[in-house]
Amino acid sequence: MMGGHHSLLVVRDFAASLVGLDPLDQAVIQDRLLHRYIKLGPEGAVTGALAALDIALWDLKGKMLGLPIYKLLGGAWKTTLPFYSSIGGNAERTVDETIRVVEKRWKSETPAAIKIRWDGGRTRQDEDIPGDIAKAKAVRKLVGDGFPLAFDANNQYSVGGAMRVGRALEDLGYIWFEEPVQHYDVRAMGEVAQRLDITVSAGEQTYTTQALVDLINAGVRMVQPDVVKMGGITGLMQCAAICFAHGVEFVPHQTQPGIGHVANLHVMATVMHNTKPAEFADPDTRMHVGIENPPLPKDGCFTLPSGPGLGLVLREEEIERRRS
């Protein structure tokens, strides 16, 4: 993830303090470390580092007990989960280029839904609203009226711009509008969410449960915390409970290949009301060289590994070779 090297520095700083601790105390360990480094954030690099540790401890706990993580979390409603293709980089593409990229992913992956992401510069607001709407229209024409579509603005609109685009997306039958305004402007995000009929989602850049509650209180009714930003599996399960209590949709964001992706699937498998598919971002195989059984899409779904812990089998020699 962005800032991963900075999180690694935090991990190296606390690594020695883990010696002799009970790995089954992962929640206690996480809280102690969060408050040790509280003045560094607590957002960003700190919660990213804690996420890495938390996922590793859950994996270790599962291996100690011979059970997959989803069993330790209370069991899975399903172990095969549909995904949506999350297709990024469309801000700089023409309409025709966008269509070609979307069509390729749509036909090769057979997803349950498609999300088109903009990934544009966040300092350039409302830069090409007519062009953005034209791309949204072209994608709708490509897949037909009944296919589920979502639009991720990546924080590139003002409130007024978001209203214009959101109304167009409503007319086109898109099912959600992701992060239309700057993520740190919670008031504006809530205003857009309350004024539009289309579901407005946010939360992928939220790092604490308290910040997630702030979004919900502002009026956002679909939140998307990320397992590698929210402190790992422990934090994401807390988010799921908050969403259940508040009656809002829990649809985790996840764009990291390999370990982060599988950790996210373990949590999603335990959620009773999965209203949206799991996210499958732009295909990235950089982690596969170190994993014997990397997660691969098949027929529009991912199936959780059945082995203990995360269920991933690491190629230790390959990992060690690349470490040196």
Could you read off the pLDDT of 262-287 as tens digits, one per residue? 999 999 999 999 999 999 998 777 77
Q: In the chain, what are the domains? A: 4-67 (3.30.390.10), 71-303 (3.20.20.120)
33 touches 16 (CB < 8 A): no
Instruction: Please choose, from the candidates 106, 160, 152, 113, the residue with its C-alpha nearest in 3D space to the C-alpha of residue 132.
Output: 152
Q: What is the mean pLDDT of each run of 10 residues along the chain (324 residues)?
A: 78 93 93 92 88 96 97 97 96 97 97 95 91 98 97 97 98 98 97 98 95 97 96 95 97 91 97 95 82 92 96 90 75
CA-to-CA separations, 34 to 116, 258, 319, in angstroms, rounded: 34, 25, 28
Q: 199-202 and 222-223 as β-strands: parallel, antiparallel, unpaired? A: parallel
* pTM (2 d.p.): 0.94
Residue 40 has what pLDDT?
Answer: 86
Ramachandran class of 89: left when φ > 0, alpha when ψ lies in -120 to 50, beta otherwise: left
Give which of 265, 215, 262 is closest to 243, Cα–Cα.
215
The token duo for 286 is 């950089």
- Which of 157, 151, 161 lies closest to 125, judged by CA? 157
Give the number of other Cβ atoms within 10 Å of residue 219's Cβ: 16
Average pLDDT, the chain: 94
Mapped onto helix, strand or coil, the DSSP state of residue 179 is: coil
In contact, 239 and 250? CB cutoff 8 Å: yes
- pLDDT of amino acid 203: 97
d(CA 56, CA 210): 24
Strand-pairing partners, residue 151, are 116, 177
pLDDT at 324: 60
Q: Which residues contact 108 (CB under 8 A, 6 or more apart)?
A: none
| pLDDT given for residue 319 in this prediction | 83
Which amino acid is it at 281? A
pLDDT for 2: 62
| Nearest CA-CA partner of 175 in 209, 139, 225 | 139
DSSP string, 184-196: T-HHHHHHHHHH-
| CA pair distance 68, 305, nearest whole angstrom | 8
How many angstroms separate the CA atoms of 110 and 147, rounded? Answer: 11
